Amino acid sequence: MATISDNLQAVTGRIAAAARACGRNADEITLLAVSKTFGVDAVSAALACGQHAFGENYVQEALDKIAAVRGAPEWHYIGPIQSNKTRQIAESFAWVHSVDRLKIAERLSAARPPELPPLQLCIQVNIGDENTKSGVAPADTAALARSVAALPRLRLRGLMTIPPPTVDSSRQRSHFAALRELKTQIGNGGLPLDTLSMGMSADLEAAIAEGATIVRVGTAIFGDRRSRQ
C-alpha cells in the first residue's frame, strides 16, 4: 500500500508536471490536502512530510482534529456552511472557500475574533452544474464579490468551484476557464483577486492549465473515502 508520503510526492510531481506543461511556476500553486473523514494520524503524517495546508468539510469533525493535531497547520474550511456554524468556522479556520451567500459572509465577518488576522475568503461559484445548489450563479458573482469585499474582518481572495465530474479533459478545462474568466472580469471591474481554488484528485492538471492557484486534493493523498463515510 502506498503511504501518505509516497502519495504526497506523487501529487507534488503531478502539480510540477502540469505547471511545466503550461509554462507556469509550480511555486504559484498551493496544495491543499483535503483530510475530511481521515483522522489525526493521517494529518500528522502529512504534516511530518512538510504538508502545511489542510481542508475540511464538516465542522465538528474539523474542530476535533484542530484541537488534537500538533504543529499548527493552516486550516481551510471547504464544505457547505450552515448559519449556526459560522462562529465556530470564524474562530478556528484561516481560510473559507465555500461562501455563496452574503448573509454567511456577514456572519463570518461579525464572528471573526479581533485578535486573529482577517479570515481569507473565496466565493464558491456554481460553474456548469445544474444539479447542485451550492455556489452562487456566475451572473451573480460580481455583485456578491463587491458586497463581501466591503465587509470588515474578511479578506476576499478569489473564487472556488467544484465543476460537475467528467473524465473529458476538454470539458474539465472549459469549466475551469469559465471560473478564470469570471475572476478576470471582476478584476477588470476594479476588484482584483489573486486566488482560483479549483482542481481535485481527478482534474488538477486541467485546473492548473487554466490558472488554479490552490488545488484541493483528498483521495490522491489519503486514499479512498467511500468505505469511511
Ligand X SMILES: *Cc1c(COP(=O)(O)O)cnc(C)c1O
Which positions touch ligand X (CB under 6 A)? 34, 36, 57, 78, 162, 200-202, 216-220
Q: How far is the CB of 70 from ligand X (least distance, A)?
A: 24
**Closer to ligand X at the Cβ: 34 or 193?**
34
**Closer to ligand X at the Cβ: 34 or 69?**
34
Q: How far is the CB of 118 from ligand X (least distance, A)?
A: 22
Q: Which residue is nearest to ligand X (CB)?
A: 218
**Closer to ligand X at the Cβ: 180 or 216?**
216
Cα distances from 21 to residues 14, 15, 63, in angstroms, run 10, 10, 38
Give yes or no for a contact between 176 and 206, defined as CB atoms under 8 angstroms apart: yes
Phi, psi of 215, deg, nearest 5: -110, 140
**Closer to ligand X at the Cβ: 88 or 201?**
201
Q: Is residue 85 helix, strand or coil?
A: helix
Residue with grid cell 488545488, as numbered in its chain: 215
Q: How far is the CB of 6 from ligand X (least distance, A)?
A: 16
Identity of residue 178: A
Q: How far is the CB of 106 from ligand X (least distance, A)?
A: 22
Q: By C-alpha distance, which of 22, 41, 23, 151 is closest to 99?
A: 151
